[in-house]
Amino acid sequence: MDVNSKLDLKEQMNISINLMIDSLHMLDCDDIGAALQMWQVAINKAKETKIRMVSVANSLNQ
């Protein structure tokens, strides 16, 4: 795995985490609908990143 791939995966996970944190702030503002939408986006982003991580790991094992 090259350095760019590692940085990209780390950046993607940070985006997911930041989206989740931002959604908690929305809950403080009673904007539950927006918070739930943001959680869904964060979860989808994390799933995409996990798939990419597994793909990279599999390519390293071959």
Question: What average pLDDT does range 31-58 have in this prediction?
Answer: 82
Q: Give the C-alpha distances (Å, rounded to integers) separating 39 from 4, 34, 45, 55.
A: 27, 9, 10, 24
At residue 1, the pLDDT reads 54
Taking residues 1-12, what's their average pLDDT?
A: 69
Per-residue pLDDT reduced to its tens digit, 45-55: 888 888 888 88
> Percent of the chain scored above 70 by pLDDT?
84
In sign, the C-alpha dihedral spanning 14, 18, 20, 21 is positive
d(CA 41, CA 33) in angstroms, rounded, equals 13
Q: Domain segments of the chain: what residues? A: 3-54
Q: If pLDDT is split at 50, 70 and 90, which confidence band does 6 have?
A: low
**Alpha-carbon torsion, ordered 48, 52, 58, 62, to 10 deg:** 150
